Amino acid sequence: MTDGLRVIVSGGSMGGLFTALALSEAGHDVDVFERAADELESRGAGIVAQPRMLEYLGKRGIARPDDFSLVTHRREYLDRDGNVREGWADSMTFTGWDTLYRRLRRAVEDDRYHAGRVVGFERDGEVSVRFADGSERRTDLLVVAEGGRSGSREQLLPDVSPAYAGYVAWRGLIDEHEISRSLVERFEDTFVFFEGDRQLILGYLIPGPEGETGKGDRRLNWVWYDNVRDRERLNELLTGSDGAEHDFSVPPGDLRGEIERELRTAAEGFPDVFSRLVGATPDPFVQTIYDLSVPEMAFGRVCLLGDAAFVARPHTAAGTAKAAADAIELGEALDGDDRESALEGWEEKRLAAGRRLVREGIRMGEGYMD
């Protein structure tokens, strides 16, 4: 075993936390810096838990599938009257973004997870990382896990930027005890969809924030993909209740009252089960759908991973799993002696995986929304 590297991870969401776990396990000395450390725990909605990620979490005792996720065994597409138009057996495992975040966060030692915003870095053999409070730290490796709007990526690749896909995802999450039993039952063991005219809405049950899977403690999650080609309309949707213009999403509680009312009215055209669900959800929120691909992920002693490198449309249900795989494979690559060629090998494999996923997301999105 060679000496461990000093590693700084910029970004403490899914990609950053998986990196901290995988690189510590490979014997490195890892510190994570997150600019919104106090906020993350209460954010997010439903996500698909992919098998490889579940296996990784299970083996390390971070989360067992049965105390952290829910499985559906059927997929159904409804017609406008709410009858099943098509349905088939299909197994999917769901969890909550917050449920996963909390488990990962607890697995990383508190003195390794810091509040702090990276504002730049210099490379001079080592890497010198600058923070918003004026401090600086030197490191052997900087891992950029800053998400789709990464500032450090902009420093490395100023010509790369996210491309808006022409539609948004309205999203909502509601505790099951706040809605009627009959509504919840419609989603029991079933992943339910409705396709309208260039519209798609889907819903599924997820566990409570601490992984509660018992009846009464779960939450219902919905996602509604909606075409918004007009830029002015998009800007209107992205203007929050305080008048601030958001770039890519408006978080729960920040949507303007008039937009929320329009949303609930538009949902009345959906099958009853979805219009009731949207109608009852306390704080719907919106995220724009965009594509992002980088030509490189490794830049000597700096590398990009997760959404900072590739953002695939959510239809692939793989954003979190991709960030996890980037991190786990980086840990494997940095486990041996020849780190330089290992990083090149890591980059080649992860570039291919990222490109594949982005292509797949575009293909799926065009199928639903064009």
Ligand X SMILES: Cc1cc2nc3c(=O)[nH]c(=O)nc-3n(C[C@H](O)[C@H](O)[C@H](O)COP(=O)(O)OP(=O)(O)OC[C@H]3O[C@@H](n4cnc5c(N)ncnc54)[C@H](O)[C@@H]3O)c2cc1C
Question: Closest-CB residue for ligand X?
Answer: 306
Q: How far is the CB of 156 from ligand X (least distance, A)?
A: 13
Which is nearer to ligand X, 10 or 213 (by Cβ)?
Answer: 10
Angle of the 339-369 helix axis to the 319-333 helix axis, nearest 10: 170
Q: Contact residues for ligand X (CB under 6 A)? A: 10-16, 33-36, 40, 43-45, 47, 97, 117-118, 145-147, 150-151, 306-308, 314, 319-320, 323
Amino acid type, 182? S
Which is nearer to ligand X, 143 or 271 (by Cβ)?
Answer: 143
Determine the Cα–Cα distance for residues 8 and 23; give it in Å rounded to an integer: 11
Q: How far is the CB of 360 from ligand X (least distance, A)?
A: 15
Q: How far is the CB of 236 from ligand X (least distance, A)?
A: 23
Q: How far is the CB of 45 from ligand X (least distance, A)?
A: 4
Which is nearer to ligand X, 193 or 271 (by Cβ)?
Answer: 193
Q: How far is the CB of 184 from ligand X (least distance, A)?
A: 20
Which is nearer to ligand X, 271 or 327 (by Cβ)?
Answer: 327
Which is nearer to ligand X, 100 or 263 (by Cβ)?
Answer: 100
Amino acid type, 251? P
Residue where the block lists tokens 């403490």 = 12
Residues present in the chain in total: 370
What's the half-sphere exposure (Cβ side, CA atoms, 13 Å) at 127? 24
Q: How far is the CB of 96 from ligand X (least distance, A)?
A: 8
Which is nearer to ligand X, 237 or 325 (by Cβ)?
Answer: 325
